Amino acid sequence: MDFIEKSYKEMIYYEIPFFNENKNVKTIFTSRIGFNKGNILNNLALLFDEPENKIVFSNQVHGNNISIIKDINFYNETEKPKGVDGLLTDKKNIVLVTVHGDCVPLFFFDKKRKIIGLAHAGWRGTLSDIGGKMINLMKREFGSELSDIIVGIGPSIGPCCYEVGEEIYESFVGKHLFLIECFEKKEGKYHLNLWRSNELLILRAGILKQNIVNSCLCTSCHNDRFYSYRKERTMERMAAGIKLMG
Chain residues that interact with Zn ion, rule: CB under 5 A: 158, 160-161, 218, 220-221
Looking at the Cβ atoms of 101 and 117, the one nearer to Zn ion is 101
With contact defined as beta carbons under 8 Å apart, do 51 and 70 qualify?
no
Looking at the Cβ atoms of 207 and 218, the one nearer to Zn ion is 218
* CB 191, min distance to Zn ion, A: 10
* CB 123, min distance to Zn ion, A: 15
- Cα distance between residue 34 and residue 53, in whole Å: 21
Looking at the Cβ atoms of 105 and 117, the one nearer to Zn ion is 105
- Cα distance between residue 87 and residue 89, in whole Å: 7
Looking at the Cβ atoms of 45 and 221, the one nearer to Zn ion is 221
* CB 161, min distance to Zn ion, A: 3
* CB 158, min distance to Zn ion, A: 4
Looking at the Cβ atoms of 4 and 160, the one nearer to Zn ion is 160
- Cα distance between residue 26 and residue 245, in whole Å: 7
- Cα distance between residue 31 and residue 103, in whole Å: 14
Looking at the Cβ atoms of 161 and 208, the one nearer to Zn ion is 161
Letter string b/e over residues 82-117, b meaning 16 or more CB atoms within 10 A of that residue's CB: eebbbbbbbbeebbbbbbbbbbbbbbbbbbeebbbb
- Cα distance between residue 165 and residue 186, in whole Å: 12
Start-to-end CA distance of the chain, whole Å, equals 27
Fill in the amino acid letter for 37: K
* CB 160, min distance to Zn ion, A: 3
* CB 231, min distance to Zn ion, A: 9
